[in-house]
Amino acid sequence: MSKSRVVMQEGHRPLNAQAAKVMRPGVTYEPSRYMPTENRDQRAAPAVRHPDAVKKHLRPLIGFSYARVTIIGLSADDEGQWVVRCRCGLFGFRSFSEIANLKNDQDSCNRCYAEMKILRKEMERRLGRAVHPSEVPGACSQRRPLPAGVILSKQQRKQMRANELRAAELQREIAAHNEAAKHRSRRVFEAPEQATSTMALAFARAKS
């Protein structure tokens, strides 16, 4: 039995909903529309540094997974870039700021990003409402925070400690200011009573 393509002529209407689904146009995949940069993803694994060559407070990032990617290690060729692997198997590069950004909850390779975007538009067309990226099948439901101690380097911890000391000092200044204001308001309320007693004493002396 030879396969033949049936083309619906102009003016014809499908018999039922199933026929309409069969005859309607398909979804085309055009990844070039969603590729902001070229050569960002690759199939071959890039070279990474040995874990001992990575700063101690950044080593917990190796093997950490978030969204659709897993961090393989620090790139040996590109300074400051981390090598990640998407669920589909493609490798890419991410900066530390991209990894640390908790709003980056749907990180993936460009190919998976394009497929998820097309699937999201198709779901919005079928459901007739806006679809959140986390509702798309295969998407990340919740972004994992970074491992403890990764974000804070030695300099950042020092700055954080200085900020805490400054905040405590400001709290003491505010408490002292509030206490002084309380004493001032107390003296204002006590002043009329003192003035009344002074006037009464003066009136009694003048009368005598």
Q: How far apart (Å, rounded) are the C-alpha atoms in residues 202 and 195?
A: 11
- How does the average pLDDT of the chain come out, rounded? 77
Sheet holding 41-42, edge to edge: 41-42, 91-95, 81-86, 69-74, 65-66
Strand intervals (E) in 4-120: 41-42, 65-66, 69-74, 81-86, 91-95
Contact 93, 72 (CB under 8 A): no
Digit-coded pLDDT (tens) for 53-76: 998 888 999 999 999 999 999 999
145 and 200 fall within a common domain: no
CA-CA-CA-CA torsion for 25, 27, 29, 34, nearest 10 degrees? 120
Write down the pLDDT at residue 124: 92
Query: Residue 11 falls within a domain, yes or no?
Result: no
Q: Indicate the pLDDT class of residue 36, thresholds 50, 70 and 90.
A: very low
| 187 SS3 class | helix
Write down the pLDDT at residue 120: 92
Given 128, 150, 172, the domain boundary residue is: 150
137 and 173 fall within a common domain: no
Please determine, for residue 169, whether its predicted confidence score (pLDDT) is greater than 50: yes
Domain count, the chain: 2
Q: Which of the residue ranges 61-65, 75-79, 162-166, 175-179 would you say has the lowest mean pLDDT?
A: 162-166
Query: Residue 3 falls within a domain, yes or no?
Result: no
Q: Which of the residue ranges 59-68, 166-175, 188-197 would you say has the lowest mean pLDDT?
A: 188-197
Q: How far apart (Å, rounded) are the C-alpha atoms in residues 30 and 203?
A: 99
Please determine, for residue 154, whether its predicted confidence score (pLDDT) is greater than 60: yes
pTM of the model: 0.56
Contact 74, 48 (CB under 8 A): yes
69 and 100 fall within a common domain: yes
Write down the pLDDT at residue 78: 86
Query: Residue 198 falls within a domain, yes or no?
Result: yes
Digit-coded pLDDT (tens) for 5-17: 445 555 667 778 7
Query: Residue 2 falls within a domain, yes or no?
Result: no
